[in-house]
Amino acid sequence: MEFDIIIIGGGLVGASLASALKHSGLRLALIEGQPLPSLDSEWDSRIYAFTPGNVDFLHECGAWQRLDASRVQQVEEMRVFGDAGSRLNFSAYEIGAPELAFIMESRLLQHALWLGLQEQDNVTLLQPAQCAELSVQEDAAHLKLTDGRELRARLIVGADGRDSWVRRQANMPEVPTPYHQHGVVANFNIGKAHRGIAYQWFTPDGILALLPLPGKRISIVWSVSPEKSAELLALTHEEFSVRVSEASYHTLGELQVITPPASFALRVLNLAHLAKPRLALVGDAAHNIHPLSGHGVNLGLHDVRELVQVLQQRGGLDCGDLRLLRRYEDARRNDIMSMQLTTDTLKHLFINDNPLLRTLRNFGLGLTNKLVPLKKMLVRHALN
């Protein structure tokens, strides 16, 4: 089975890469190990915030217009609170934009992407399929599946998540740095309308974010210690709802759990290289960041947008040529490092009992809130 590019991982990042290359003239294979998530009336606890720039990209891929608009929520304002009365407000209205972000369930977008891929002429979908062996030679990469099928391609793209099999096979074994925190996620019905406002509280023992969902619903990401995560997950739904309501100062009234809480360990992963001969990494396979910014999936889509541009402008170069892939790597380096540095600094600044740091961090929030030009610059940068 001969291809120009084999994409391993059919989640949002891998599927969007295949979709974006539909008019490239390249022969693609997309390999996904898990069955596609089913669509039902239940809300997915995996919720992502997408920047307007990435929504435009997903529209170009043909996926966004396939979504049920009643399951998409615009964020028009964000309110950030420190632990000593300081606050920082971001508003789409202040910069003349219609929204700051769009909130969307993971499985609905993945389903929309795969609907388009099933109609795409230049992609072969192998799903569910498991990878067994990967070897890279000078002229091509060779991939064997567990069912015995063998594939050959000019380029392998690893889009297979934070515990990437491709990354291990390629001997890119940088060890992630644990944050010693878990992200607790769940969805709730709420007593008061959210009005398209996202909230975030920075406290010494955790970071709580409330993301608006359509109707009177929200999703939360609560970054806490592993011990507190275990404690929260052991509560009844009623007890858990009370704890979240208290931590968010009853801002949205009475809360009622609609998806059981789950948790995942938080970490940062910064690779020295995103590419090797005939191999490139995208999304969580390439980098991990703290979820406090809500930009993890957006970084992955930025990877895809840059890799697509590099491949489309390759001229006469083989799509697995390291000189070409270095262009992708170099173009992504600053964006990834900037986001990792920002989230890492904020995490360590606020999860800290040092009185001096507490004064500085709250002063910084309050000062930034007063510097309107700085706020506008930050918001415009985050819209891409």
Is 80 exceeded by the pLDDT of residue 304? yes
4-22 burial, b at 16+ Cβ within 10 Å, e below that, comes to bbbbbbbbbbbbbbbbbbb
Q: Find, among 268, 267, 278, the residue nearest to 170 by Cα.
A: 278
Determine the Cα–Cα distance for residues 10 and 13; give it in Å rounded to an integer. Answer: 7
Determine the Cα–Cα distance for residues 202 and 379; give it in Å rounded to an integer. Answer: 19
- Residue-wise pLDDT for 121-171, tens only, equals 999 999 999 999 999 999 999 999 999 999 999 999 999 999 999 999 999
Lowest mean pLDDT among 49-63, 96-110, 306-320, 357-371: 357-371
Q: What is the overall mean pLDDT for the chain?
A: 90
Sign of CA dihedral 285, 269, 232, 294: negative
All CATH 3.30.9.10 domain ranges of the chain, comma separated, are: 70-104+179-267+350-382
Domain 2-48+105-176+268-347: give its CATH code: 3.50.50.60
Is 60 exceeded by the pLDDT of residue 103? yes
All CATH 3.50.50.60 domain ranges of the chain, comma separated, are: 2-48+105-176+268-347
Is 80 exceeded by the pLDDT of residue 352? no
Determine the Cα–Cα distance for residues 300 and 285; give it in Å rounded to an integer. Answer: 9
Lowest mean pLDDT among 89-93, 250-254, 356-360: 356-360
Residue with tokens 């999860």: 351
Q: Find, among 129, 134, 105, the residue nearest to 42 by Cα.
A: 105
Domain 70-104+179-267+350-382: give its CATH code: 3.30.9.10
pLDDT-derived band at 363 (thresholds 50, 70, 90) equals low
Q: Are 276 and 170 in contact (CB under 8 A)?
A: yes
Q: What is the DSSP string of 295-352?
A: -HHHHHHHHHHHHHHHHHT-TTS-TT-HHHHHHHHHHHHHHHHHHHHHHHHHHHHHS-
The pLDDT of residue 349 is 62
